[in-house]
Amino acid sequence: MHRHIFRVSFTGHNQHRGQRMACRPDLFRVKLNQRISRADLLSLIHKELEAVSVHIHRIDSHMNQKLQSVCQGQAAGMGTQLYYLQRLRYLDDVPLILDHNYFLKELMPGLTPEIAEHSIYEYLEQTLGFTISTSKRTMTVERVTQVDETYLDMNDYNCMAVISSQTFNADGIQFEYTQSRHRPDHFQFQDVAVRKKNS
């Protein structure tokens, strides 16, 4: 796994259509409840990011219906400006994961493609003094979309393992929505449950 290839842009846009690396047991594992930046993952596998795209979008009647429902009642309501990142991830030169990231524009002034290439969370926490508080993740199995088929090598699979994430700051404001779409044969979920006895 070594390449991230994206459309590069930093302009206003009204189209629709968020971070996690492909997992292979002999490379590394990332637990669902573990927050790790893309920069940390890249250092783990000693590979370099090639490119990143950052698009500014508005949530309007043309936006994805699921995204509207996720953002309903949060800061990212109808008409809110968002930064949009699309990430295509490769394993052994095969495109296997497609990520869609939406970030609340008003909370991250000065975001550039160069910052996004390195680590947005590092920029938020260390440069802007941002406190990231909570992340809610949902895993589903969904049918392949036309977008998936356009960018990914589906190898005759008709479904995707999808991780959807909502991330909130210390004020309870949702500033990120991410959907990471994995080809199922390269997706692994690992969880650890620890039972505590009553004292």
**How do the domains of the chain map onto residue ranges?**
12-186
Mean pLDDT for all residues in the chain:
70
Predicted TM-score of the model (pTM)? 0.67
Mapping DSSP to helix (H, G, I), strand (E, B) and coil, where does residue 134 land?
strand
12-186 homologous superfamily: Chorismate lyase-like (3.40.1410.10)
pLDDT, one tens digit per residue, over 105-147 is: 888 888 887 787 778 889 999 999 999 999 999 999 999 999 9
Cα R_g (the chain), whole angstroms: 17
Reduce the DSSP state of residue 34 to 3 states and report it.
coil
The three-state secondary structure class of 60 is coil
pLDDT tens-digit series, residues 45-80: 333 333 344 444 544 434 455 555 555 545 455 567
